Each structure stands twice: as structure tokens, then as C-alpha cells.
């Protein structure tokens, strides 16, 4: 029991001691906090005073600067006001001087007006006197000549008209004679000048109708499996591919469509380069080549229009125009021929004072029908008229197309110029050529027409088919019949044959009588 009491007493003492110790610790902390707070307040007071001093100093400096700046503005404004006041005073002095000058000038004008009124009055008086004198003179002349004023005026006018009429007739007759005398020379000069200034001779672009394979491996790939690849190309391009009998590596591209021929040629060239001659590779190359060729058609048409400085042409018509690049006529590229005709037409139109742009446009489109004559039935003239009508081209262009081969009458000068330019372009030396087969056939046709005439002994086509000489049997044909045979051959050639330029038809009838007397020969002709 005693031990328990002691333990309780010790525990109580420990608690009291702990409380006293904690109280002392708390008092020390409070004392330290008060001291720290006091120190903080003192330091803060010093900082506040320092900041206040700095702010006051800065404010004074800014105030001083503002005062100085304001003073400078005030001084500047005062100076400006002084200058403005001086200018106002100068303006007032100038206005006063101007007012004085205007007043003086007003007085001068009043004096001049008065003087002018006096002069006008004198002029009116003189005018009245002159009219009176003229009236008196006219009356005196009428009395002396026994003719009224209106009759005299009419007589003078009639005499002048008669004189001018005679002079006009003489001048018109002279001008007409001068024009007739010089018309041919002027026309020749215009044609020569248009040829010299217009087209330029360029190497002829031949259209390739065949392609040469580089080696037998390519040919083997094309003809293997029963010519499967060759048949695929034919079906996709719409052409016939035939190997030449004389050259086993020369592949002929046979088709009436020049666009299909170009696509097939491009496909074969790409296959030769890539060497991927498989059905899938062929289909891919056909698709690419078709797109390339159609893009080229549009680009070629735009290039032709750009060369001739022509605008506002339908894009579809430009694409059709581009097809002429792959069309030829007697070896002459039709697109180059059309551009040449447009250039010559433009030069001739400029010399005659006509619409140059319209003449070039008509010349460019005059053979546009040849771009589709292998697709649609009809002559290239009819197809060209239909095309340009569908695309709303000018009536002058349509008439130029319709009349450039004489199918219809030209209704304007530009149509005549286009026909002239077409003849110049096709007939100038070196513009056109024929294949050997066409050349031989034309010569045979000329000789056949001549030999069919009654009384013809033999005939010869010479000068590359530009002249046919007919030898007649003098015993069967007289001179009158000779003329008739010449005319009949000419008419048949015009109606049955297609020929560039002119063909000269000459008939020869020669009678030779030979006799011999004794040993001496005598020949009578």
C-alpha cells in the first residue's frame, strides 16, 4: 500500500514537473516570438521608410521631367503661335494687295467693256452699210444681166458639177486602167511577200507506221504462246500488227486511224524499254499511252493557237485540231500545212487591211475536217463545216472552210485569201511528196486516160506526171479532132484524178511523107 502511494506521488510529481517544464518552454517560445515580431516590425518599418523615400525621390524626378517636357511643349507652342500669327498677318497683307489689284482690274474691264460696246456699235453700222451695198450691187447685176440670183447660183453649180463629173470620169478610168495593168504584179508581190514572211522550211516529220525491234528476244516474247501478247496489243489498240517478210524484226502497224497507230507505237516503244511484255504490263502501258496521246492532242492544239496568237477557242476543238499532227496529205503534215495557211492568210489580210486574227483563224481550221474523216462519212469540207458550226465559230470561218475547194462560192475576201493560201502552201516546191506506188499509179492513170481516146497512137507522162504528151495517128485524126481529144483528156483528168498543182496536156499530130527518086533520097515534110 505504501509502495503504491509512493508510486502515485512520484507520478503526480512527474506530471507537475512536466506541466511546469512545458509552461516554461511555452513562455520561452512566446518570448522568442514577441522578440521576432518586434524585430520584424522594426525591419519592416525601415523597409517601408526606405521604399517611401525611393518613391518620393522617383516621383520628384518624374515630376521634374514632366515639368521640363511640358515647359518645352509650351515654349514650342508659343513659338508656333508666333509663326502662325506672322503668317496670318502676311496673308492679310497679301489679300489686301490682291483686293486692290482686283478693284483696279475691275475698273479696267469696265473701261474695256465700254470701248468694246462702242466698237461693236461701229461694226454693226458698217455691217448694215455693207449689206445695203451688197443688196444694191446684186440688184444692179440682176438688172444688167437680166438674170436672177437663184438662176445664177444654179447655173454656176451646174457648170461646176459638169466639170467635176468629167474630171471624175477621167480619174476613175485612169485608176481602173492602172489597177488592171498592175493587178497581176501586185498580186504576185503579195504572194511572194507572204511566202517570204510566212512559213519557214522545216524538216518534214514523217509519221512512223512501223517499229524496229532491237533483237529477237523481244520478238520471241511477243509471239510466244500463239502470239498472245501481240493479239492483246491489237485488241486493246484496235490495230493490226504484222511482221515484215523482208525484215523479221520490222513490225508494221496497220490501221486507218492515226491516233490508234500512235498509241500502238507508244505502247511498243514502252514495252521494248521496260521489257515487261506480259498481259498485265501491256494493259498498263496501253492505258498510260492512251492518256499520254490524248494529253498531247490538247497540248499540240494549244501550241498551234499560241503560235498564231488566237484566243477563245473551245478546248474540245483544240483537241480535235491536235489530231491533225498525225494526219498527212501527199506527205505534207496537215497540222503544219494548216499553220502555214493561217500565217499566209494573216499576212495577206494585213496587206489588204482586213481582220488578221479572223484570217488566221479561218486558215487554221480550213482542213479541220481531216481530223475525223476516217471516223465519220463525208468529205473533210462537209465535216469541217459541221464541226465549226457546232462550236459556234464565226460565219466567215465556216464559209472559208466550205469554199476553199470551190464547193460553194466565197462570200467574203477572207475566204478567198484562205483558198489562195491553201493553194500556195500545197503547190510550193518541196511542200508535198508522194510514195513511189502513188507516183507510179498516177502516171499509169494519166497514160490510161490518154490511150482510151480514139486515134491515139501512144502517150507519155513526163515531168513527174505534171505533163502528158499524146502522139496521135495523123491518118485517123485531123487538127480539129486533135483539139477535141486534148479537151476531152483534160476534162477526164479533172473529174477522175486527184493531183497536186497543174497538169499540162499536149497532143502531137505529125505527118511525114517520104519518096525516093533515082539514087537520091528526097524527103518532104
CATH of the domain at 468: 3.30.70.1350
Q: Tell me which range, 289-303, 437-451, 499-513, is most confidently predicted by mean pLDDT.
A: 289-303
Q: What is the pLDDT of residues 58-85, one digit of tens each?
A: 888 888 888 888 888 888 888 888 888 8
Note whether 359 and 423 are same-domain residues. yes
pLDDT for position 498: 66
Give the global pTM: 0.51
In-domain check, residue 99: no
The answer to whether residue 384 sits within a structural domain is: yes
Residue 523: what pLDDT?
Answer: 47
Report whether 415 contacts 388 (CB < 8 A): no
Q: What is the pLDDT of residue 399?
A: 92
364 Rama sector, left if φ>0, alpha if ψ -120 to 50, beta otherwise: alpha
Helix and strand counts by DSSP (H, E) for the chain: 13, 10
Give the residue from 314, 311, 313, 318 showing the smallest Cα distance to 297.
318
- Residues 201, 195: contact at Cβ < 8 Å? no
DSSP 3-state of 470: strand
Mean pLDDT of the chain: 81
Q: Cell triple for residue 413?
A: 475576201
Using an 8 Å Cβ cutoff, are 308 and 189 in contact? no
Is residue 523 a part of any domain in this protein? no
- Domain of residue 481: give its range: 436-509
Q: At residue 500, what are phi and psi to the nearest 5 degrees? A: -85, 145
Looking at the structure, tell me whether residues 323 and 289 fall in a common domain.
no
Q: Is 149 helix (H, G, I), strand (E, B) or coil?
A: helix
> Is residue 314 located within the same domain as residue 291?
no
For the ranges 5-14, 314-323, 436-445, 471-480, which has the lowest average pLDDT?
Answer: 436-445
Q: Is the pLDDT of residue 451 over 80?
A: yes
Longest dimension (CA), the chain: 210
What 3-state class would DSSP assign to 434? coil
Please say which residue of 386, 402, 427 terminates a domain: 427
The residue behind cell 499540240 is 300
Q: Are residues 472 and 388 in the same domain?
A: no
402 plus 455 within the same structural domain: no
Radius of gyration of the chain measured on its C-alpha atoms: 56
The model's confidence at residue 522, banded by pLDDT at 50, 70 and 90, is: very low
Choosing from 373, 397, 427, the residue where a domain stops is 427
Judge contact between 396 and 356, C-beta under 8 A: no
Q: Are residues 387 and 317 in the same domain?
A: yes
- Phi, psi of 246, deg, nearest 5: -85, -30
Q: Looking at the structure, do residues 266 and 227 belong to the same domain, yes or no?
A: yes
CA 234-237-239 angle, to 5 degrees, is 55
Instruction: Give the least confident one: 75-79, 167-171, 190-194, 275-279.
Output: 190-194
Contacts of 174 (CB under 8 A, 6+ apart): none
Q: Are 239 and 261 in contact (CB under 8 A)?
A: yes
Q: What is the percent of the chain where pLDDT is above 70?
A: 88
Residues 282 and 371 in one domain: no
The Cβ of residue 403 has, within 10 Å, a number of other Cβ atoms equal to 21
CATH number at residue 280: 3.30.1370
Average pLDDT rounded to a whole number, residues 375-399: 88
Binned at pLDDT 50, 70 and 90, residue 524 comes out as very low
66 lies in some domain: no
Structural domain count of the chain: 3
Q: Which of 295, 328, 358 is the last residue of a domain?
A: 295
The verdict on residue 181 lying in a domain is no
Q: Please provide residue 424's backbone torsions phi and psi, each rounded to the nearest 5 degrees.
A: -65, -45
Collapsed DSSP state (helix, strand, coil) of residue 405: coil
pLDDT at position 191, please? 66
Q: Does residue 4 fall inside a structural domain?
A: no
pLDDT in tens, 175-204: 777 777 776 777 666 666 666 565 555 545
Q: What is the pLDDT of residue 59?
A: 82
**395: confidence class by pLDDT, cuts 50, 70, 90:** very high
Query: Which residues contact residue 212 at a Cβ distance below 8 angstroms, ignoring those fewer than 6 apart?
Result: 247, 249, 250, 251
313 and 421 housed in the same domain: yes
Does a structural domain hold residue 258? yes
pLDDT in tens, 305-346: 898 888 888 889 988 888 888 887 766 788 888 998 998 888
User: Which residues make Cβ contacts (< 8 Å) with residue 504, sequence separation at least 6?
Assistant: 463, 466, 467, 468
Residue 46 placed within a domain: no
pLDDT at 149: 66
Q: Are residues 313 and 272 in the same domain?
A: no
What is the predicted pLDDT for the residue at 20? Answer: 82
419 and 440 in one domain?
no
CATH of the domain at 404: 1.10.3210.10
**DSSP strand pairing (467-472 vs 520-524):** unpaired
pLDDT of residue 194: 63
Do residues 246 and 327 share a domain? Answer: no
pLDDT at 205 over 70: no
> How far apart, in whole angstroms, are the C-alpha atoms of residue 415 and residue 313?
19
Amino acid at each position: 500500500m505504501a509502495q503504491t502511494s509512493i508510486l502515485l506521488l512520484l507520478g503526480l510529481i512527474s506530471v507537475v514537473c512536466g506541466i511546469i517544464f512545458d509552461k516554461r518552454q511555452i513562455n520561452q517560445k512566446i518570448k522568442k516570438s514577441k522578440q521576432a515580431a518586434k524585430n520584424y516590425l522594426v525591419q519592416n518599418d525601415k523597409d517601408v521608410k526606405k521604399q517611401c523615400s525611393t518613391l518620393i525621390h522617383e516621383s520628384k524626378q518624374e515630376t521634374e521631367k514632366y515639368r521640363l517636357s511640358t515647359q518645352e511643349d509650351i515654349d514650342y507652342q508659343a513659338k508656333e503661335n508666333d509663326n502662325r500669327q506672322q503668317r496670318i498677318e502676311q496673308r492679310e497683307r497679301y489679300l489686301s494687295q490682291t483686293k486692290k489689284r482686283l478693284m483696279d482690274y475691275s475698273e479696267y474691264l469696265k473701261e474695256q467693256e465700254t470701248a468694246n460696246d462702242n466698237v461693236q456699235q461701229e461694226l454693226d453700222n458698217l455691217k448694215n452699210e455693207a449689206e445695203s451695198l451688197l443688196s444694191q450691187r446684186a440688184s444692179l447685176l440682176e438688172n444688167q444681166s437680166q438674170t436672177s440670183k437663184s438662176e445664177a447660183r444654179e447655173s454656176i453649180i451646174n457648170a461646176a458639177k459638169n466639170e467635176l463629173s468629167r474630171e471624175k470620169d477621167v480619174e476613175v478610168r485612169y485608176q481602173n486602167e492602172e489597177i488592171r495593168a498592175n493587178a497581176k504584179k501586185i498580186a504576185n508581190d503579195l504572194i511572194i511577200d507572204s511566202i517570204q514572211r510566212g512559213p519557214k522550211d522545216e524538216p518534214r516529220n514523217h509519221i512512223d507506221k512501223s517499229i524496229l525491234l532491237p533483237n529477237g528476244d523481244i520478238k520471241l516474247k511477243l509471239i510466244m504462246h500463239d502470239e498472245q501478247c501481240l493479239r492483246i496489243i491489237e485488241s486493246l489498240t484496235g490495230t493490226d500488227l504484222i511482221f515484215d517478210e523482208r525484215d523479221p524484226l520490222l513490225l508494221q502497224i496497220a490501221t486507218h486511224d492515226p491516233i490508234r497507230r500512235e498509241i500502238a507505237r507508244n505502247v511498243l516503244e514502252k514495252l521494248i524499254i521496260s521489257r515487261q511484255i506480259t498481259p498485265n504490263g501491256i494493259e498498263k502501258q496501253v492505258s498510260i499511252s492512251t492518256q499520254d496521246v490524248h494529253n498531247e492532242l490538247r497540248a499540240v492544239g494549244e501550241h498551234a493557237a499560241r503560235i498564231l496568237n488566237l484566243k477563245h477557242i473551245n478546248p474540245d476543238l483544240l483537241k480535235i485540231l491536235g489530231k491533225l499532227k498525225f494526219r498527212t496529205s501527199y506527205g505534207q503534215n496537215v497540222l503544219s500545212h494548216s499553220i502555214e495557211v493561217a500565217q499566209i492568210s494573216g499576212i495577206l489580210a494585213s496587206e489588204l487591211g482586213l481582220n488578221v486574227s479572223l484570217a488566221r483563224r479561218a486558215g487554221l481550221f480550213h482542213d479541220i475536217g481531216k481530223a475525223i474523216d476516217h471516223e465519220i462519212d463525208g468529205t473533210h469540207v462537209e465535216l469541217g463545216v459541221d464541226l465549226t458550226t457546232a462550236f459556234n465559230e464565226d460565219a466567215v470561218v465556216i464559209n472559208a472552210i466550205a469554199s476553199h475547194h470551190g464547193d460553194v462560192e466565197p462570200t467574203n475576201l477572207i475566204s478567198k485569201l484562205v483558198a489562195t493560201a491553201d493553194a500556195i502552201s500545197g503547190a510550193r516546191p518541196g511542200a508535198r511528196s508522194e510514195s513511189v506506188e502513188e507516183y507510179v499509179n498516177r502516171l499509169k492513170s494519166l497514160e490510161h486516160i490518154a490511150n482510151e481516146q480514139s486515134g491515139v497512137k501512144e502517150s507519155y507522162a513526163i515531168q513527174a506526171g505534171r505533163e502528158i504528151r499524146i502522139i496521135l495517128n495523123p491518118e485517123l485524126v485531123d487538127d480539129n479532132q486533135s483539139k477535141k481529144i486534148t479537151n476531152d483528156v483534160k476534162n477526164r483528168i479533172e473529174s477522175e484524178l486527184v493531183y497536186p498543182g497543174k497538169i499540162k496536156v499536149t497532143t502531137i499530130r505529125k505527118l511525114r511523107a517520104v519518096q525516093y527518086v533515082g539514087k537520091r533520097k528526097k524527103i518532104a515534110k
